[in-house]
Structure 1
Amino acid sequence: MEDLPITLSRCNVFTNGELDTERPIPVVPKSHDGVLNEKQLVDYKDRRVRFLSWLLKVGKHPEKAEGYSPYTVYSTAYRTARFDLWLWEQKNEYTYPPQSDDAAAYMDWLAFSDQSQVMKGKAQEGLQHLSKWLHHEYGYDEWEFEYTFDGSGGNHQPQDFLTREERRAIRQAALNEGNIPAYDSLTAEERNGWKLYISNALGKPYDEVTREDWNEVNGWEITSLVWTSLDAGLRPNEVRNARTEWVDTRNGVLRIPKDESSKNEGNWTVSLTERTATALSRWLDEREQYKRYEDTDTLWLTSHGNPHGSSSLRRLLHRLCDQAGIETANRKMSWYTIRHSVGTYMTKERDLAAAKAQLRHKNPMTTMKYDQVPVEDRRNALDRMG
């Protein structure tokens, strides 16, 4: 291994002079010595120079071309390098850039490590900087974490969750989402396929289906996605990875196999309500009519034929909140908000064991964060206390 701490200004990454800093910012720290071969080191160093120089020049506010301070970038360099090394040890191979699954696994590992809450919070902050760069430079979805660490020393807690009333409102809003293709937008061949689908959906003979019947049938794609997430607390990665073979509508469950689950921690059988099982059954029938699903067993895709990511799911949730009249200001509303509502109320209605199974937690300590009384129940208790 060659010289390891490298000052960014010596890497010719600046076009308007050199950075005046007393301490070198480590592109490849000494902890990585002997870990990478020559080709891997060249690749890793190149990516790291791009990442760290981006932070220095524009990372804080890209729209204003305002960067972070050298001290912040120095700290981020070490924290993200520790994450990289941890990831290679877990996978027993070099890989870069990391993916959202990798970041989530690291956060889970940190949660139950002996590091202080401050250290955990700073490590999460470093990964957020890395995610920000990957999003702006490569179009990656920004990473979302199941819980956050309080860098000031508090405990890690799940982020915001939906109340019971909000869950019902989101479920209703999702029921109103989605239309099948308009009659006039279809070719004759496509129209025949949809005519058969409408015939089955309405329980009407094929030959009796008319143009007007197109207005009587709604699409089930978004409804099934949202309702399944409300039941199963699907992580964004699980929405993306979901396959048609996961669905068992006869028994009202999802069967998530080990090699496709978000965290690769085992085979899970997840309960669904009858309403959700019906929505999924309808969606599987409807799904056969869309060309974008012809060569894939992916359960849900965006309208552009891409797998859903954190950003598209966040936009969907905010749209449903707007339709349902749910205020999102001053709340961290991501797809995990749905998952946290499942954990919170499953724990309240049953117990931690039921929440652990439904949310697919390997470590029971992960589920413990849901062992808290919702704010509305605390308010009711205060009313009763007088």
Structure 2
Amino acid sequence: MQNSTTQESTPEAQDVLQNRYQEALGQRRTTDFFAEMDAFFDWMLTSGLTPKARNPTGYERSTATNNLQRLGRTLPQLWKKHGRYTLAITNDLADWYVKQLEDDNITKDNGDPYADSTKRKHACALYAYKRWRTDQRGGEAWQPHTLFDHEPSQKPMADPIKLAERKQLREAVLEYETVTQYNNCTPEERDRIRALLAQRLGKPKSDVTKGDWEDVNRCWKYPSLFHVTLDTALRPIEVKRAKVGWVNLEENRLEIPKNESAKNDAYWETPFRSRTGGSLNRWLKQRAADPAYDNTDALWLTREGNPFSSGPLGNRLRSLMEAAGIAIAERDISWYSLRHSLATHMATITNNIEEIRLQLRHKCIESTLRYIHPPDETVRDHLAQL
């Protein structure tokens, strides 16, 4: 990726677009057009992928060039629809263009429809341009309703957790895997719970003490794990790699080094709420006194002393949902459900897709859009207005 560029190394837009607009636009509008296309091209090279990052990164030069060429074919169609030359492409106009692609009203020169892969490239070029307008020209943020991404995902799709369910989980995890207070149990209940704790703690039933009973009810491992993931949408690999050194309680955020990030692609600072910081603080104090963590800097380990993986994490989430009285039948619930949930519900609160991208730790905004699903309650509200 390109992180910097010079006037000498940056081709002017007319080198890419082959100055074919002057006859249609006239001299002054052509001059304005290419000046803006030069600025757009430079932005793509220097910071187009992560414009708000501390160390922004840009597109590969070949990708930036292809985006510019495709935009050069798109803009005249938008001008025709709009009725005149403009570089302030409205969201309605951008939506119209994507819908024309979707309905095969924009085709190859011979009339054949574009393949979805080609439609995606054209939509992404327009999306990059709209992001530049938002970042550099005060334009309105735009989220295309599709980027024609029909390729199989490397990760299984997951149903997002609903907004009300997120609040239920945040509260329910405070009681998750706790047991009835020792002094409040009948002898029969005490014997049954002692057997449960023996299995959970990996020790003989006769060795389970009242102190073990109290430790289980005080433990903040699962509250901290779920509270952090509800706020930061941790991937399974990030839970597995999470270290004590990632936690900055003064700033209430995770600080993930580049070489420990999910794709080893960037240093990330991901904020969480102060309530989550409280859960983490309590867990860190308990963790420091737990012999199971004496020889590791892992933030969380399974009951068996192993790093968490996708399967056990999904099992924990489904178990917690059932404990909270949340129906999971006919739903594809995995640990990624929490990640999809954060993106989906943040999108209903903020139109700033850049904020969501940073919170999910995506290098590319196009990746973030795949995690946003219109929630049922929002769709119903909109239907009620029709």
TM-score normalized by the length of structure 2: 0.51
Letter aligned with residue 173 of structure 1: A
Q: 1:364 to 1:287 in 2, by over 3 A?
A: same
Which has the larger Rg? 2
Is the contact made by 1:230 and 1:342 (CA closer than 8 Å) also made in structure 2? yes
Alignment of 1:175-190 (within 5 A): 175-178=174-177
Letter aligned with residue 235 of structure 2: R
Is the contact made by 1:257 and 1:267 (CA closer than 8 Å) also made in structure 2? yes
The answer to whether the aligner puts 1:297 opposite 2:297 as a matched pair is yes
Task: Name the structure 1 match of 2:255.
Answer: 255
In the TM superposition, residue 214 of structure 1 has moved relative to its aligned partner by: 4.0
CA distance in 1, matches of 2:261, 2:366: 19
Instruction: Please tell me the root mean square deviation across aligned C-alpha atoms, in Å.
Output: 3.7
Is the contact made by 2:232 and 2:272 (CA closer than 8 Å) also made in structure 1? yes
In the TM superposition, residue 177 of structure 1 has moved relative to its aligned partner by: 2.2
Is the contact made by 1:178 and 1:218 (CA closer than 8 Å) also made in structure 2? no
Letter aligned with residue 320 of structure 1: L
CA distance in 1, matches of 2:303, 2:213: 23
Letter aligned with residue 348 of structure 2: K
Deviations 1:206-236 (A, max 9, x none): xxxx979948962100000011000000000
Q: 1:323 to 1:294 in 2, by over 3 A?
A: same
Letter aligned with residue 285 of structure 1: K
Unaligned runs of 5+ in 2: 1-113, 118-148, 183-193, 199-209
In the TM superposition, residue 349 of structure 1 has moved relative to its aligned partner by: 1.5
Letter aligned with residue 162 of structure 1: I
Is the contact made by 1:162 and 1:338 (CA closer than 8 Å) also made in structure 2? yes
Task: Name the structure 2 match of 1:313.
Answer: 313
Task: Name the structure 2 match of 1:356.
Answer: 357
In the TM superposition, residue 179 of structure 1 has moved relative to its aligned partner by: 5.2
CA distance in 2, matches of 1:216, 1:320: 16
CA distance in 1, matches of 2:212, 2:169: 29
Alignment of 1:166-181 (within 5 A): 166-178=165-177
1:175 alignment partner, SS class? coil
In the TM superposition, residue 373 of structure 1 has moved relative to its aligned partner by: 2.9
In the TM superposition, residue 159 of structure 1 has moved relative to its aligned partner by: 3.0
In the TM superposition, residue 325 of structure 1 has moved relative to its aligned partner by: 1.4
Task: Name the structure 2 match of 1:323.
Answer: 323
Is the contact made by 1:174 and 1:222 (CA closer than 8 Å) also made in structure 2? yes
CA distance in 2, matches of 1:264, 1:115: 33
CA distance in 2, matches of 1:237, 1:244: 15
Alignment of 1:150-299 (within 5 A): 159-178=158-177, 214=214, 218-299=218-299
Unaligned runs of 5+ in 1: 1-113, 118-148, 187-209
2:302 alignment partner, SS class? coil
Is the contact made by 1:243 and 1:298 (CA closer than 8 Å) also made in structure 2? yes
Letter aligned with residue 356 of structure 1: R
Q: 1:259 to 1:329 in 2, by over 3 A?
A: same
Relative CO higher for 1 or 2, CA cutoff 8 Å, sep ≥ 6? 2
Letter aligned with residue 325 of structure 2: G
The answer to whether the aligner puts 1:380 opposite 2:373 as a matched pair is no
Deviations 1:258-281 (A, max 9, x none): 011111110111010111000000
Task: Name the structure 1 match of 2:33.
Answer: none
Is the contact made by 2:172 and 2:324 (CA closer than 8 Å) also made in structure 1? yes
Letter aligned with residue 327 of structure 2: E
Deviations 1:155-195 (A, max 9, x none): x9953101111111111121112559x99999xxxxxxxxx
In the TM superposition, residue 289 of structure 1 has moved relative to its aligned partner by: 1.8
Is the contact made by 1:240 and 1:309 (CA closer than 8 Å) also made in structure 2? yes
In the TM superposition, residue 313 of structure 1 has moved relative to its aligned partner by: 0.4
Alignment of 1:331-342 (within 5 A): 331-342=331-342
1:259 alignment partner, SS class? helix
Q: 1:263 to 1:321 in 2, by over 3 A?
A: same
CA distance in 1, matches of 2:306, 2:169: 24
Letter aligned with residue 293 of structure 1: Y
Is the contact made by 2:178 and 2:216 (CA closer than 8 Å) also made in structure 1? no
In the TM superposition, residue 362 of structure 1 has moved relative to its aligned partner by: 0.2
In the TM superposition, residue 327 of structure 1 has moved relative to its aligned partner by: 1.4
Is the contact made by 1:347 and 1:354 (CA closer than 8 Å) also made in structure 2? no
CA distance in 1, matches of 2:322, 2:176: 13
Letter aligned with residue 168 of structure 1: K
Seq. identity, %: 34
CA distance in 1, matches of 2:177, 2:286: 12
CA distance in 2, matches of 1:368, 1:361: 10
CA distance in 1, matches of 2:212, 2:367: 52
Task: Name the structure 2 match of 1:347.
Answer: 347
Task: Name the structure 2 match of 1:199.
Answer: none
CA distance in 1, matches of 2:262, 2:337: 17
In the TM superposition, residue 320 of structure 1 has moved relative to its aligned partner by: 0.6
CA distance in 2, matches of 1:365, 1:296: 36
CA distance in 2, matches of 1:262, 1:115: 32
Q: Number of aligned pairs?
A: 219
Q: 1:307 to 1:380 in 2, by over 3 A?
A: same
